[in-house]
Amino acid sequence: MSDGTVVHGTIDEFARAQGLERRRANWYRRSDGVVTVLNVQKSLYGPQYYVNWGFFLTDLGDASHPSVPDCQVTTRLEAILPEHEEEIEQLLDLAAPLDEDQRRDGLKQLLRLAHERLRVTTKEDIRDRIADGTLADAAIDLEAQALLGLEWKQGVGMVLRD
């Protein structure tokens, strides 16, 4: 595997092992009311990549294979694992001085950790991940905020409505 595809190859291997279904550049899992989307995005400005997660709430629309921007809740690997932000940036920057094995092994470890932290199969799981801080920095559209019973509090962020 060339250095340019090690990120894609590692994501593909991880997603396959988690039972996700591939369609074009995205990986999918359908569950009760939520379509989970995982993809890799290449930076326009250099050899950097981003790992994106999206959650499409089927109560708000019908899409069997939505793209991440179509999802009502979106986040990135470094937002799920903020304590590993610098490591993630290095692993996903092909200009960083890492060999393929270091990059692959580090990325696999962080993907597994993010997967364990997310555990999203229902809209209630999304609410739980907001409450526990895992999705604290996720982008959540207004319709999803209403459906999930969320509100924005100045100085606090997204919180569950009482």
Domain count, the chain: 1
- The answer to whether residues 68 and 77 touch, using CB atoms and an 8 Å cutoff, is no
- The answer to whether residues 26 and 38 touch, using CB atoms and an 8 Å cutoff, is yes
Residue 140 is classified by DSSP as E
Q: Crossing angle of helices 6-17/100-118, nearest 10°?
A: 40
pTM passes above 0.75? yes
pLDDT score recorded for residue 62: 86
Distance CA 142, CA 56 (A): 13
pLDDT score recorded for residue 3: 41
pLDDT score recorded for residue 64: 84
Q: What is the pLDDT of residues 87-116, one digit of tens each?
A: 999 999 999 999 899 999 999 999 999 999
pLDDT score recorded for residue 61: 87
- Phi, psi dihedral angles at 157 (to 5 degrees): 110, -155
Q: Domain limits at 120? A: 3-160
The chain-wide mean pLDDT, for the chain, equals: 89
- Is the pLDDT at 5 greater than 90, yes or no? no
